[in-house]
Structure 1
Amino acid sequence: MKTLSWNCHGHGTPWAFQFLTEIVIQKHPDFLLLSEILCKRNTVEKLQNRIGFEGMVIVETQGHSGGIDFLFRNNDVVNLNSYSKNHIDLTNHNKQCQLYRVTGVYSEPDRRKRSEIWNLLRTLAMYNNLPWCLIRDFNNVVSQNDKKGGRPYPHNLVQGFRDVLEECQLIDMDLQGHRYMWERGVGTSQWIEVRLDRALVNVSFQAMFEVAKLINLEISTSDHCPILLALQDKNYIARTQRFKFENAWLHETMCQQIVAEVWAEHEHLSLFDKLKECLNILSAWGQEITGNFKQRIKSCKRILKTLKGRRDDNSVELIKHEQRKLSEIYTQHEVFWRQHSKQLWLREGDSNIKFFHASVKKRRAINKITSLKDRDGGLVDWNSGLENMVINYFDDLFTASQTK
């Protein structure tokens, strides 16, 4: 079971709608929790139909703020317990048909109303003794380490939130990935990062899902990053992930160098064993390239800011170097998401015949060969021997030759 949670700050916008669709296809969550949706019910229903989820509970936006909705893939495993403008409480069951609760929470941005949310948590805690998880934007930190930059978080809010967690016997789950999920003033002297989103669980929930993970996905069209709660039962056996080549790696000269070095160092091995060696090395190296786009972008921007502040002759070339590096990272990022969104094209093709045929025709037009250059550099088309030229090329290509 996976729960994807995101403060999307208005998923009615086209870019947020597209981002949500792609990330659901990539992560395949069973539940999708959204807050600050800033759109009407019919817009959420369009999203629901597009991603193929059966059920939905929505608390609509009040004025120009708020809004929270919970979408679920399978209608049969969910029962609605209660809801308000700040929460949706559901009862689900795992593969062994054991019941547990998941509550989506959206805390008041107004700090003067924070006590209302804390009282809500106390009331929900008394509902039953099932394994329980609360997830989403609590708009509060549990320690000063959850905030970087700006003024310290008010002590009374930190202590008040901690007191509620202790009273309700809730545990703050560890987060994998970047520590902070909300930011403002990126690259400026007022740059602030805060961890406002989290998952809180009780002891029985922790016992039911001992190997559960909370992951910061780190890529977002909002000022909040989405988080993914992956629930795994005790008897879960992790699958070995298959190797997948990322097109974004082709923009790194190191990729070609790795392959060349493997081929040179293992010249005596068979083709299969050479490919296996490449797989192992590229898998480890690739995680550093496509696994941390956000940190790499932040690092470049931080260096650029420092260099621009120096204003000396030596910094000019360094600034140009970092700008080129930042441009390359953005290109890799775009290629990465374009490759990972191909499943979206397949889904649209299956459900929309016109879209499917239009896409095929467009691809055929792009891939159609009308002419090629021969060895002398002259253009040869289908009326002047292109067919024979293609046949001769592949005859030469597949003619047996001496190999090691």
Structure 2
Amino acid sequence: MERVRRALQFDGLISVDAIGKSGGLAFLWRYKDQAQLRSVSQNHIDMEITMDGKDRWRLTGIYGEPDRNQRRKTWNLLRTLARDSNLPWCAIEDLNNVVAQEDKTGGAPYPGWLIEGFNEVLVETELIDMDLVGHQFTWEKGRGTDSWTEVRLDRALTTVAWLNLFPLAKLYNLEVSASDHSPILLTPEGSNMQVTESWGIESSDDIQKKVKTCGEKLYQWGKEITSRFGDRIKNCKKKMQMLRKCRDAESVRRYNDIKAELFLILEQKEIFWRQRSKQLWLHSGDKNSKYFHAAASVRRRNNQINRLKNGEGCWVDWDAGLADHITEYYNHLFTTTQTDWHETIECIDVKITEEHNMELLQTVTEDEVRTSLFQMDPDKAPGPDGMTPAFYQKHWSIVGNDVVGLVRKFF
């Protein structure tokens, strides 16, 4: 694992060795101040995570007991970890547990006492089983035979507080693997998968082309989320109404999961209108969606240009050459006229010493670029490329090298 850490150029590594062919855990992080160890055992690594612009939260990797007769050890571990802290929490793991018979296909039915016991733990610890994007099973054996069996053994469990912290989080089944388990990928910011895929499509070193390709992908992805708020909210409420009177452990778990999904959609809706309104003095937890909606509408009206007065003092609108007038104005504004600046320069005393000049000519470091970028307000107005600072901050691990390269070219 140390070779892997060095190859990835990460600062941190904690690992737990496997016993034979079972178990084995590793936690790697890029910057040394991003993660701090809370506890570790043969079956878990519990870390406290620090991210720019986010409250501290916990991320726990767990390897569940493969022996069904020892499965209660995993359940008790979850109970212990849940009592350990009130921080927003996500546990991602090979739990070797399922929450319903639908998590398994082929072979004999999954033992009911294991399903019931695991669901009771989820209710007791108030953990929510995240939906899996992609193929619904993560483990298989006997492919192509009469005994072909698939089970969803790998999952991510979160608290409501964690989902509120990351309302756009997604859990993906990457499917392709040399192992009998499929790798799963958790993207807290939701759009990471779209950015990763679209950023790699453009092979050019031109960052503007990459941003354009990525922006088109995110635009389509965003439309799918923001255009269906009403239907998604109504669907969640309908499901909750059907499960409200049920008392069995699986129904209670499903009710809590749907309730958390409803809160997540409401949070997404609020974030959408807060960003549209540009009311940066209000916090994301203020729950003022109606106000944000009104503010966005007012801002859109205020930003409209219906007519302008031209150089001859006449009003022109869009039907009478306003577009040509705007183009002509800026062409003139940014056109260099004949100037003589030598006389002015000669009057300025030299203030930059040779030592200062050498410092200014040094190569810009990645830390300098990253620090400058992360000092910007995430929701400030976008640049000419259409992206706000939040895009580059949230996806720094993907776009950072290109941004640093562009800054170095500029200097």
Higher relative contact order (CA 8 A, sep 6+): 1
Q: Could you state the TM-score of these two structures normalised by the residue count of structure 1? A: 0.48
